[in-house]
Amino acid sequence: MKKRLWVISALVVAVGLAVASCVPGVPGGGIANPAANVSIPGNILQQSGIWVTGQGKVTASPDVAILSVGIEAQAGTIAEAQQKARVAMDAVVKSLKSGGVKDVDIQTQRFSITPVTQYFEKENRQRIVGYRVNNTVVAKIRQLDSVGSLIDAAAQAGGDLIRIDGISFTIDDIAAVEAQARDMALKDARAKGKAVAEAMGVRLGKLTYAQVGSGASPLPVPLNLAKGAPGRDAFVPETSISPGTVIVQASATAAWAIE
């Protein structure tokens, strides 16, 4: 009697692709989870066949740094706060350009004007006592060996108003690295499918399902250079920055009919 063999998958692993900037010794460095909160259609779960998940990982050196730097100014009036913020931000942007950052690689990320309030106990109420202006730009630094000096120059230019939110490292042409990781994941899935078929004494049939994904989310390196930053005339050793490596990780789910 011929027996029909069905290998039914009880679980389909979702597919994702993530990029993480791994900087040795920096808290928070690591690899982002490539698959989460993915809904699998019920009709797929009911299909029979051989289901496998392949993995692919490529480690590469970053070639771009993304620096987030801002200015926070406070004064009694909006006009005064804006003026202080404008002068400081102009100096910061000028320092970035002098360090080799191009106009096209500098972009305003956030701008806000908010009132500053203070509670007066005798009046039992809050009163506006001033205004705060925040202006943040993101700079793409293509010369990684100049990151430390650019941070120092921006801090000196912005003075006590400087706010450096953080820095992250990535690869400018990330699509090419993602493609390598996907190819590795697909080849790994094929090899695993063959191994399962051989172990069960059957052959892989027609490919019935395949899914891959892509995405990039480099993890930032916190710097937290804010209030208490050194003054313009203070001597400060050059900031040390280590780019580390970027890991691109992919997974691919595939299913085959059984012959």
Domains of the chain, by residue range, sit at 17-61+173-218+247-258, 64-170
Task: State the pLDDT at residue 243.
Answer: 86
Domains 17-61+173-218+247-258 and 64-170 share a fold: no
Residue pointed to by tokens 């993304």: 66
Task: State the pLDDT at residue 44.
Answer: 52
Task: State the pLDDT at residue 34.
Answer: 41
193, 256 contact by CB (below 8 A): yes
Q: Give me the residues paired with residue 108 across strands.
A: 137
Class of domain 64-170 as given by CATH: alpha beta
pLDDT per residue over 37-84, tens digit each? 444 555 554 468 999 999 999 999 999 999 999 999 999 999 999 999
With 60 as the cut, is the pLDDT of residue 248 above it? Answer: yes
Task: Quickly state the pLDDT bin for 106 (edges 50, 70, 90).
Answer: very high
CA distance 153 to 98: 9
In Å, what is the CA distance from 166 to each residue of 9, 65, 112, 135, 175? 44, 10, 19, 15, 24
148, 240 contact by CB (below 8 A): yes
With 90 as the cut, is the pLDDT of residue 109 above it? Answer: yes
52, 253 contact by CB (below 8 A): yes
Report the topology of domain 17-61+173-218+247-258: Translation Initiation Factor IF3 (3.30.110)
Helix (H) or strand (E) holding 210: strand 204-211
- Mean pLDDT over 14-29 rounds to 39
Task: Quickly state the pLDDT bin for 241 (edges 50, 70, 90).
Answer: confident
CB burial of residue 75 (10 Å; 0-12, 13-18, 19+): middle
SS3 at position 193: helix
Given the DSSP bridges, would you call strands 245-258 and 17-22 parallel, antiparallel or unpaired?
A: antiparallel
In Å, what is the CA distance from 173 to each residue of 6, 177, 194, 259? 43, 7, 33, 42
- Which of 217-221, 243-247, 254-258 comes out lowest in average pLDDT? 217-221
Tell me the whole-structure pTM to 2 decimals: 0.65
Q: Determine the Cα angle at 104 with ends 28 and 63, to 5°.
A: 40
Q: Which two tokens stand for residue 238?
A: 């050059």
135, 81 contact by CB (below 8 A): no
pLDDT per residue over 142-196, tens digit each? 999 999 999 999 999 999 999 999 999 999 988 999 999 999 999 999 999 999 9
Backbone angles phi, psi at 233, to 5 degrees: -95, 0
